[in-house]
Structure 1
Amino acid sequence: MAVLHSYVLASTPLTKIPLAVLNNEEHKMKVPYKLKQGQSRIFHQLPSGLNMEVIYQKKKGMQNKGTDDNMWAPLPPLVFVHGSFHAAWCWAEHWLPFFSENGFDSYALSLLGQGESDDPDGSVAGTLQSHTADISDFIQKQTTMSPVLIGHSFGGLIVQYYIANLGKDFRGNLAGVVLVCSVPPAGNSGLVWRYLFSKPVAAFKVTMSLAAKAFQTSLPLCKETFFSQGMNDHLVQRYQELMTASSRMPLFDLRKLNASLPVASVPNTSTQVLIMGAADDFIVDAKGLEETGSFYGVRPVCVEGVAHDMMLDSSWEKGAEVVLSWIKSLDRKDLV
């Protein structure tokens, strides 16, 4: 059974919207991502009139087992936010099917200028404020319950900005937040300086790979930057091609971004946060993981045997299992 690529201008919950076919010639990515069985590609229309790609996978069954108090409480939907050089497809590969099988409605977003989303005016895709506003608009209009918001790398920094401004600039309550290999609240400058002084060769490689985008042309460098050494080279090449096709525009102007950081702290926040890093992360080091944990007063979880792209790596299920266990432990009795 073929999976339809779906196109929709959304202003009401997805379950109530008719879907239309997205024709092949409408693809923005030069290397289109083929959806898996049970997935739909839809588009959420933002207040600006631009369309944001969403890959959606409906939950299977009612697998609702958790603690005794949570046994009959509904499982929250999950909203996934990618980082630089990625798009919604990075979650659709493994984590969307995994969480669907475990009873979650799952939505992976492509930020503007990335994946199949529309391009905004200007030379960069947006700012912390604009990306967060787009996510907030989606959550308000397209989820019927407060979701768990999951951000990876620079997507994690966007999620942190969401927490800091929830109830002020943004609406859309959250059932919880998961930060996966996230850039710390102060940004990536601390990571860069530590690498320069303690690991100059690694600092050169990171700069070449990310700032100069050498990961797009060097398979070994792409593998070292994002994946474990045991990752199959054919898969690395496939993801390398998708990452190159995904990022038509830089996610941020990094100079302006760093000038706006750190994100504001939120004393006594009621939002529950899981901070998760990878033991073999080439981009966010252990100190960066500790910085984020200290900022939120949470002990981070470091997953062994995975690299920065935890959701795509050869042992992707390790991180997914940690997130699943944590979400099922949340108090969901008052979830709306």
Structure 2
Amino acid sequence: MLSRHITVHHHPAARPAGRPPLLFVHGGYTNARCWQLHFIPFFNALGYDCHAIDLSGHGDSGGHAQIDEFGLDDYADDLAGAVAELPALPVLIGHSMGTQVVERYLAQGRAAGVVLMAPVPPSGTGGSASRLALTRPDFFAELPNAVSGHPTDATFRVMAEIYFSPQFPHTELAEFLPMMDRESDRAVAEMVALPFLRSGRRPSIPALVMGGGVDAVFPPSMLFFTALAWRAQTITVPDCGHMLMLDRPWPKAAEALAGWLAHL
């Protein structure tokens, strides 16, 4: 196991409501900041203590220089350490690649509940990557510019069109590009190979699967397969793209999640 410092950002509620803490797990090519703009203030205001992890090689955590050496199991180890720091079992909320991290952790770990937002489907990312390569080859050309901090006008346009809803202005993406990080080549390859990897146990805990109605990365039709595996409730947020926590309709996603959490 590679040794590195892992940062967990703690955001306690000003008026705790005695509810399970929420632990947010970011997806690929980003970091914990994606949760801190909208979702964490929203749930803090409802009385939830919120926590967000920077996985190895992302955000304020160590390991940036050797990020390509980290796989999904390493990220799951990061999450296990974060859960162990908390005073109570959290509800785990993962997004995109983060859903795979959460699932890897739950193969052995515990949680009060699980929320899988825009999840990587059980079939892996190969289908989505192939579809984007055929229909949007400019995405793969511009992704290195986005994570390197040297975007062009085309970078703003393409990233907005892939990750956000059609009504999202390209010019607003400048606010979100600093939330992007490089991703591990190893982790990316493992998500492609997902159908050939052994799946772990899925504990019998409350589960929610949520996706955007206009997600160009993992279309909402894919949510069924993840929900089936977890026997989960499914929510599709209309007019929302892949980045449910940042897109213009993010309040709809937050309110739907809050409604589900209220029944735990």
TM-score by length of structure 1 reads 0.70
1:144 Cα deviation (Å)? 0.8
CA contact (8 A) 1:208 1:214 kept: no
Aligned to 1:292: 226
1-side partners of 2:146 and 2:44: how far apart? 35
Aligned to 2:236: 302
Q: Percent identity?
A: 28
Structure-2 change in CA distance of 1:308 and 1:125 (3 Å): farther
2-side partners of 1:107 and 1:251: how far apart? 26
Does 1:61 find its partner at 2:15?
yes
Runs of 4+ in 1 over 4 A off after TM superposition: 212-216, 260-263
1:186 Cα deviation (Å)? 3.0
1:134 Cα deviation (Å)? 1.1
One-letter code of the match for 1:112?
S
Deviations 1:116-143 (A, max 9, x none): 2111664515111111011101111x11
1:263 Cα deviation (Å)? 5.3
Does 1:151 find its partner at 2:61?
no
Aligned to 1:92: 36
Of 76, 82, 89 in structure 2, the residue corresponding to residue 132 of structure 1 is: 76
What SS does the aligned partner of 1:137 have? helix
Structure-2 change in CA distance of 1:120 and 1:233 (3 Å): closer
Structure-2 change in CA distance of 1:275 and 1:53 (3 Å): same
1:242 Cα deviation (Å)? 3.0
Of 203, 221, 224 in structure 1, the residue corresponding to residue 161 of structure 2 is: 224
Q: What is the 5 A alignment of 1:44-83?
A: 49-63=3-17, 74-83=18-27
Structure-2 change in CA distance of 1:263 and 1:297 (3 Å): farther
1:106 Cα deviation (Å)? 0.4
1:281 Cα deviation (Å)? 0.6
TM-score by length of structure 2 reads 0.87
1:80 Cα deviation (Å)? 0.5
Deviations 1:50-99 (A, max 9, x none): 22122221112144xxxxxxxxxx30001101111110100001111001
> How many residues in Structure 1 have an aligned counterpart in Structure 2?
258
Does 1:275 find its partner at 2:218?
no
What SS does the aligned partner of 2:241 have? coil
2-side partners of 1:228 and 1:259: how far apart? 28
What SS does the aligned partner of 1:135 have? helix
Aligned to 1:333: none
1:192 Cα deviation (Å)? 3.3
1-side partners of 2:233 and 2:45: how far apart? 28
What SS does the aligned partner of 1:146 have? coil
One-letter code of the match for 1:312?
L
Deviations 1:6-62 (A, max 9, x none): xxxxxxxxxxxxxxxxxxxxxxxxxxxxxxxxxxxxxxxxx9652212222111214
Does 1:114 find its partner at 2:51?
no
One-letter code of the match for 1:61?
R
CA contact (8 A) 1:161 1:263 kept: no
Aligned to 2:178: 241
1:255 Cα deviation (Å)? 2.9
Does 1:162 find its partner at 2:105?
yes
Does 1:266 find its partner at 2:211?
no
One-letter code of the match for 2:63?
D
One-letter code of the match for 1:92?
Q
